[in-house]
Amino acid sequence: MKTPLVEMDGDEMTRVIWKMIKDILITPYVDLKTEYYDLGLENRDATNDQVTLDSANATKKYGVAVKCATITPNAARVKEYNLKEMWKSPNGTIRAILDGTVFRAPILVKGISPYISNWKKPITIARHAYGDVYRNVELSVPAGSKAELLVTRPDGTEERALIHDFKTPGIIQGQHNLDKSIESFAKSCFNYALDTKQDVWFSTKDTISKKYDHRFKDIFQEIFDKDYKEAFEKAGITYFYTLIDDAVARVVRSEGGFIWACKNYDGDVMSDMVATAFGSLAMMTSVLVSPDGVYEYEAAHGTVQRHYYKHLKGEKTSTNSMATLFAWTGALKKRAELDALPELMRFAQMLEEASLQTIEDGVMTGDLASLSTLPNKQSVDTETFLREIGKRLALKL
């Protein structure tokens, strides 16, 4: 390796898996260079969360990071870890600094078939991670009230629009978004499409929301026409806009293999639908891509707390390490691409192949064994699964 990966360690069962993946599958073969940041909750607390900011800034500097799942503290965690403060979600902090979009895609294996039988290739959901209902302002309105939107411009002039004259009680909600954030979202989607050679589908409800959703549609189209049209033609991929309801119907009938860009709420709902329909949360990969081409790879799932408590009691767990492993291979492949290291690229590809082969040979963790249709399937514990991948990797190498 030439340039270090930014390595963000995390919490609980995924922290245990993190070390096993490195020890069993990576450091025996790769002269691994990382800049290590411990985002485990204890160290976030000890550094007043400075370590999270530092790791995000290092990611900006080097361009590629791999992140372990981390605890987002709630009241129970504040007590459990005796925290100074209820620290913010590391993912939220990192996303704000990198201004990125999250892309989620399932890992497909033989024996675990999507509930939708015509889905042959992964569907990647790109969720806009800013604004709309997640930054809303809401009010309950008593009968006899008039609700208006009011904008006060920099020069002091006002623009008003009537929301509703309430004869009976009701509710209102204000939402916003920013051109800048939508532009970043569009660029991240188009860059990721070029990177992975997949079409982009984008959907909103612009027929009903003629200013708000229409702005999303216009910004995507402007950026595409200006900066991406030629590159897409060269790569043989397309950009396609359609209404959200039409998109849902087309997605279900499709064979997969594209990026579905969604507004914040649509992405929240549709990513759970797509993940479930493909089989298992433990097989969902996730990558944060910034508009200027910085990448942070991780698993979509959390720290698998329930398994960790079993592990602490000395019991064997059967925790699926695939998504965390693919975060590592994704980051190694991106580093290999940026630094022109074909051997590192080949290694990461072989590691992915070895892990898929292990599952397709019938050796898998409990979560997959309960789904798999393979006749010879066998459920193994966390470490045995990684060692089985290691055996196949050694043969390939």
User: Which residues sit opposite 171 in a β-bridge?
Assistant: 140
Residue nearest to ligand NAP (CB): 302
- By CB under 6 A, which span of 153-161, 234-242, 289-297, 303-311 interacts with ligand NAP? 303-311
**What distance in Å separates the CA atoms of residue 218 and residue 221, rounded to the nearest whole number?**
5
Residue placing its CB nearer to ligand NAP in the complex, 290 or 320: 320
Say which amino acid occupies 365.
T
Report, in Å, the least distance between residue 38 CB and ligand NAP.
14
72 binds, among Mg ion, ligand NAP, none (CB under 5 to 8 A by kind): ligand NAP
**What distance in Å separates the CA atoms of residue 228 and residue 304, rounded to the nearest whole number?**
40
Report, in Å, the least distance between residue 137 CB and ligand NAP.
26
- By CB under 5 A, which span of 180-188, 210-218, 260-268, 339-347 interacts with Mg ion? 260-268
**What distance in Å separates the CA atoms of residue 18 and residue 257, rounded to the nearest whole number?**
29
- By CB under 5 A, which span of 5-13, 85-93, 261-269, 353-361 interacts with Mg ion? 261-269
Which of 257, 293, 302, 362 touches ligand NAP (CB under 6 A)?
A: 302
The answer for 105, left when phi > 0, alpha when psi is -120 to 50, beta otherwise, is beta
Residues 348-364 as b/e (b if ≥16 CB within 10 A, e otherwise) read bebbbebbbbbbeebbb
268 binds Mg ion (CB under 5 A): yes
- By CB under 5 A, which span of 142-150, 263-271, 352-360, 375-383 interacts with Mg ion? 263-271
**Binding mask of the shown chain, residues 262 to 291, with x at each position contacting ligand NAP by CB under 6 A:** -------------------xx---------
305 binds ligand NAP (CB under 6 A): yes
281 binds, among Mg ion, ligand NAP, none (CB under 5 to 8 A by kind): ligand NAP
**What distance in Å separates the CA atoms of residue 296 and residue 235, rounded to the nearest whole number?**
24
**Residues contacting residue 284 through CB under 8 Å, at least 6 positions apart:** 104, 105, 106, 107, 275, 278, 299, 300, 301, 323
**What distance in Å separates the CA atoms of residue 212 and residue 264, rounded to the nearest whole number?**
13
Residue placing its CB nearer to ligand NAP in the complex, 129 or 281: 281
**Residues contacting residue 181 through CB under 8 Å, at least 6 positions apart:** 99, 128, 130, 131
**What distance in Å separates the CA atoms of residue 225 and residue 173, rounded to the nearest whole number?**
34
Positions in the binding site for ligand NAP (CB under 6 A): 69-72, 91, 281-282, 298, 301-306, 319-320, 367
Positions in the binding site for Mg ion (CB under 5 A): 268
